[in-house]
Amino acid sequence: MATRGADATSLRADEIEPARCPAQGDKATGFRHFLGTPRASQRYRAYGVDPLESPAHVTNIRGLMHRLSRRMDAEIAWPAHGDASLHRWENPAIPSGYTYLLQFIAHDLVSSAIPLSVAGRLGAGTSNARRAPLVLEGLYGSGPVSSPHLYALDAPGDDRRTKLRLGRMRWKETPRTAGCPFRDIARAQAENVTGIDRGIAGQRPALTEALVADARNDDHAIISQLTAMFALLHNGLVDLVRRGEPVSHASARFGAAYRRFLCARDALTSIYHNVIRKDAMRRVLHPAIHAAYSGSDPRFMDQPAAGEWRIPFEFSHGAFRFGHAMVRPEYRINDLSEHDLNNTLEKNSINEPVNMPLDETWMVQWSRFFEIDGSRPNLSRRIGPYLSDGLGNDHIFPSFDATERVGLLYRDLLGASLAGMWSVDALIAEIAARRPDFIALSRLLGDRAWRVGQLREWLSSASAAYGGLTAEDIEALSNDPPLPFFVLFEAMQQPEARGFHLGPLGSIVVAEVIFGALAAARSGEEFGSLAELSARHYPANVFEGVPDIECMARLAEFTAEIAGLRQAVPAFL
């Protein structure tokens, strides 16, 4: 679930303004805090010092997070599975496709100009541009009128744009031909005013521009393929709507196209919400927490103020970073090829424009990522305080400060430390005051002395070989761990379910935000059943015959059916 950071290759610590206490009006727009803004005494502290109140302390925090990230380089000694064919680190409960569905969801909730870890402080650069949650803005942009580059002509003889643009794949050993199927996201060549041409003269141009609403959805080969699958499903739904809509006169074509687009978009969004609620969250949340929030009338603790939607830091920079720990070191993409993580992460229009569009060795066979017809997909990693080596790629995640630390893990830890988030102790106490039944689920949450002891033991166990944590470091981190680290540690420590899903605290934060966003959409009547959506636009049910889709395997199967890809070469399923 790696996300490409800003281009910070040349940024040094002395070129980045240090964290400081935000002045009135100088906050990260689009963000808020979970369960309300914590008081100063409730915020995360390193060595007992609040970084928002002591900007000079940020240098010490960088060093501490650097050493903690090094400690987290030590592989986890997971218990063996009953199935000897599985690696100990594999998670049979979560196929690897969900890693990238979670990344897609994260992009749908948060879009910032620059990571907080790189910016070094809260401010305009770290604002969240998303103003509504889970509406597939990363797929649809601002719609066909405002984002026309994302859309293709609807049909021959119709100049309206309601279908999402796709690009042809290519065959690796043969020249690009018109016969290649539309299986990649759309990509384009752009003349570079600097005169630099990254193409191969006389052979292939450099397709440097990914025509997607959110550039992060071309971060790597798997997320771009997932984006293409959603686009294929949208386009198939447009075809269904077109076949069922009344014939309109030429003068009404614009209105008909607008209605067609809205109906298909809302149908896909409804399917997407259904999959998040009934499939993705069921797999990643602690069962008791999922049961508490997945019903028809959950009791939400987090009640944000009315007005513009904002994402909690404790979710975006804390609990939801757990997806990075699920990333595998290699992937069987299809029947033709297996690729390591480094190679997978570098397959995009930024890093390899001359190798775009993707060829047949990168066309995802979805039965390798979700359980389809008894397939054995790639499995995600168990959730714990360790990331695959590829997420330390110094080309994709270069160093940006005096620590010279490369990789995604350090960015996660540092960004969380600078956001003024709830401390783990204070967050547990606040939840205990509102839902003591949740805290009673876990000794790690309910017994502070036990929690500190467990953290101290783990941090000490490999500190000499990994990271060189000092005794002072270990005491500071044991008593006040950064939230993203603790969420991973909690998942690892669960009895009988080590790393198979989030622990209670991580699950609470994720469930409150995700199910809260879904409940808000449902109460606003923007989305509903496909029959209800159709009735808002047409007298007949244009989606009659479309099955209930409640999981990613069924979504992939229906996409293959509606897009005519069941017998595709290379295989789609």
Using DSSP, state whether 311 is helix, strand or coil: strand
- What pLDDT is stored for residue 1 in this prediction? 56
Residue 169 has pLDDT above 50, yes or no: yes
Locate all alpha helices (DSSP H) within 309-403, ordered by sequence. Answer: 313, 341-345
Which residue type does 219 have?
A: D
CB 498 within 8 A of CB 492: yes
Using DSSP, state whether 400 is helix, strand or coil: coil
Q: β-strands 166-168, 182-185: how paired?
A: antiparallel
Locate all alpha helices (DSSP H) within 184-310, ordered by sequence. Answer: 221-244, 253-275, 281-284, 287-293
Mean pLDDT (the chain) is: 88
For the chain, the distance separating the N- and C-terminal CA atoms, rounded to the nearest angstrom, is 22
Using 50, 70 and 90 to split pLDDT, how confident is the model at 179? low
DSSP calls for 314-366: IIIIIGGGGGGGG--SEEE-SSS-EEEHHHHHT-STTT-GGG-S-BGGGS--G
Using 50, 70 and 90 to split pLDDT, how confident is the model at 181? confident
The Cβ of residue 373 has, within 10 Å, a number of other Cβ atoms equal to 8
Q: Tens of pLDDT along 39-66? A: 999 999 999 989 888 878 889 999 999 9
Locate all alpha helices (DSSP H) within 435-524, ordered by sequence. Answer: 436-439, 443-446, 448-461, 471-479, 483-492, 504-523
> How far is C-alpha 560 from the chain's CA centre?
24
- What pLDDT is stored for residue 336 in this prediction? 86
Report the DSSP beta bridge partners of residue 543.
Answer: none
Cis peptide before 205 (omega within 30 of 0): no
HSE-CB for 460 with a 13 A CA cutoff: 12
**CA-CA distance, 201 to 198, in Å (whole number)?**
9
**CA-CA distance, 354 to 351, in Å (whole number)?**
9
Kindly state the DSSP code that residue 152 receives in the 8-state scheme: E
Tokens standing for residue 338: 């297996």
CB 167 within 8 A of CB 209: no
**CA-CA distance, 241 to 76, in Å (whole number)?**
51
CB 347 within 8 A of CB 359: no
Tokens standing for residue 521: 């959409």
Q: What's the average model confidence in pLDDT over 545-558?
A: 96
CA-based angle 503:507:509, to the nearest 5? Answer: 130
- What pLDDT is stored for residue 244 in this prediction? 87
Q: What residues contact residue 396 under an 8 Å CB cut-off, 6+ apart?
A: 2, 4, 5, 345, 346, 351
More confident call, 443 vs 173: 443
pTM: 0.92
- What pLDDT is stored for residue 554 in this prediction? 98
Kindly state the DSSP code that residue 359 receives in the 8-state scheme: B
534 phi and psi angles, rounded to 5 deg:
-60, -40
CB 388 within 8 A of CB 200: no
C-alpha distances out from residue 571 to 46, 253, 556, Å: 51, 37, 12
Residue with structure tokens 């009404």?
Answer: 252
CA dihedral 315, 402, 126, 270 (to 10 degrees): -40
Tokens standing for residue 351: 């890093």
Q: Tens of pLDDT along 492-544? A: 999 989 999 999 999 999 999 999 999 887 655 556 689 989 999 899 999 99
Answer left, alpha or beta for residue 364, where phi above 0 means left and psi between -120 and 50 means alpha.
beta
Q: β-strands 379-381, 166-168: how paired?
A: unpaired
**CA-CA distance, 245 to 257, in Å (whole number)?**
10
- What pLDDT is stored for residue 153 in this prediction? 83
- Provide the sign of the torsion angle of the four alpha carbons 564, 565, 566, 570, taken in this order: positive
Locate all alpha helices (DSSP H) within 110-211, ordered by sequence. Answer: 116-119, 137-140, 143-146
Q: What residues contact residue 482 under an 8 Å CB cut-off, 6+ apart?
A: 44, 65, 68, 413, 416, 417
CA-based angle 156:161:163, to the nearest 5? Answer: 85
Q: Tens of pLDDT along 451-471? A: 999 999 999 998 778 879 999
Which residue type does 499 have?
A: G
Q: What's the average model confidence in pLDDT over 547-571?
A: 95
C-alpha distances out from residue 303 to 27, 128, 337, 525, Å: 20, 19, 47, 19
Residue with structure tokens 């609470």?
Answer: 508
- What pLDDT is stored for residue 56 in this prediction? 82
**CA-CA distance, 300 to 292, in Å (whole number)?**
10
Q: What's the average model confidence in pLDDT over 213-236?
A: 96
C-alpha distances out from residue 77 to 384, 402, 436, 503, Å: 11, 32, 32, 18
- What pLDDT is stored for residue 159 in this prediction? 73
